[in-house]
Structure 1
């Protein structure tokens, strides 16, 4: 491919020429050579880098996509691969949580009368233990409680929160929907429906929407992997 101008790269992806320059400045693209008059000279390598970066953004978001490309251009390929691996790990965790919530909903629907009863032998958790399980802060759990999503019991005397198996289920559901971009008010309504084991249509729709997002994200990851692999092969050449 002949030398390219910033506008050539920008036009193909519907970007502004300034955006392309910013991506280079931020380390998302390799440094461009300059003409004697100071104009940037882009090549097929830069076009492949931009293609890979935008695909990573679709799969992992702007921040993570930028970190991956920056690591590559700093010679830290292993770091970039670890970031990618963590993204796949999070996607798998989301799918596992989605499956557990679906099972909980099926159980609630089948056992509407007894759904609120804790599982036999289940051990209560502290706020710290539940926060660690979900990978959130205790402050987040308290915020969910204020929103009516969680209603933990309190120990007599100490006032410490104790989370039963059903509280953990509600927290997992809230965490899943929160990652899907749902507002706290809507999550509180969905969790109420789970507790009541009735009127689960909106819950089913929410889970279907999130399942579709996970599928879309998984396909975007595959696409990004192919485009990034192409760029890395060009760099090696």
Structure 2
């Protein structure tokens, strides 16, 4: 490589250069620097910002990460990645993949619960007792707080059985299935009134078809977000292996 080529590769980038390379506006570049998404730019002798290729890679990483986990989480993650050790940063990125996998598994369980509703009338009641869950067990399975299940109960979305002597909540198979569907619907952004309308319609064929469409769209969205995270992988790797990061 010639000296001229090395100089071209290492020459500082202006804000407008970074904006063109990343697809963001000049103001967005400045805003994302202020928010900690990209490292602070060096300042030249005349006070102008001087960026490098790491800033461009960080902005590309942010774009992909925002598509995968949302802009707020993306800003938080990228801000932390630059100050974490390599092991910590790699673990944080792995956790994002795990979260998407968990969301997909819950949507698939909700689909299975929906299919089970069609055969529910043929299921002997004794089977419900065998597979009952406590509120703590169900909350853990859905990755929600017990207070969330109590709120859904107040709203008439998930109705548990009760152990008469202790008044303790117990959730049989019908309630567990309903809870999985409610959790999946809530994760798609549906408000309580919309969830209630869908849940109330589940025992109609058209209601089940509507829920199936929602869950299928949920799975498609998770797949798209997973691909976005994969595409951001190389840029995230550049961020977490930048020379100035902590090593231990």
Question: Is the Cα contact below 8 Å between 2:38 and 2:55 reproduced in 1?
Answer: yes
Question: Is the Cα contact below 8 Å between 1:27 and 1:73 reproduced in 2?
Answer: no
Matched, 1:215 2:223: yes
Scaled by the length of structure 2, what TM-score is found?
0.81
Q: Who is 2:205 aligned against?
A: 198
More moved, 15-24 vs 78-87:
15-24
Matched, 1:84 2:93: yes
Which of 1 and 2 has greater Rg?
Answer: 2
Question: Is the Cα contact below 8 Å between 2:36 and 2:79 reproduced in 1?
Answer: yes
CA distance in 2, matches of 1:108, 1:164: 13
Matched, 1:151 2:167: no
CA distance in 2, matches of 1:66, 1:205: 32
CA distance in 2, matches of 1:58, 1:137: 27
Which of 93, 100, 104 aligns to 2:109? It is: 100
Question: Is the Cα contact below 8 Å between 1:5 and 1:42 reproduced in 2?
Answer: yes
Matched, 1:177 2:166: no
- Aligned-partner SS, 1:3: coil
Q: Who is 2:135 aligned against?
A: 127
Question: Is the Cα contact below 8 Å between 1:64 and 1:83 reproduced in 2?
Answer: no
CA distance in 2, matches of 1:170, 1:41: 56
CA distance in 2, matches of 1:216, 1:118: 41
In the alignment, structure 1 segments of 5+ residues that lack a partner are none
Question: Is the Cα contact below 8 Å between 1:59 and 1:220 reproduced in 2?
Answer: yes
In the alignment, structure 2 segments of 5+ residues that lack a partner are 1-8
Question: Is the Cα contact below 8 Å between 2:16 and 2:26 reproduced in 1?
Answer: yes
- Aligned-partner SS, 1:113: helix
CA distance in 2, matches of 1:73, 1:8: 22
> Which protein has greater RCO, CA pairs closer than 8 Å, 6+ apart?
2
Matched, 1:71 2:71: no
Scaled by the length of structure 1, what TM-score is found?
0.84
Question: Is the Cα contact below 8 Å between 1:57 and 1:65 reproduced in 2?
Answer: yes
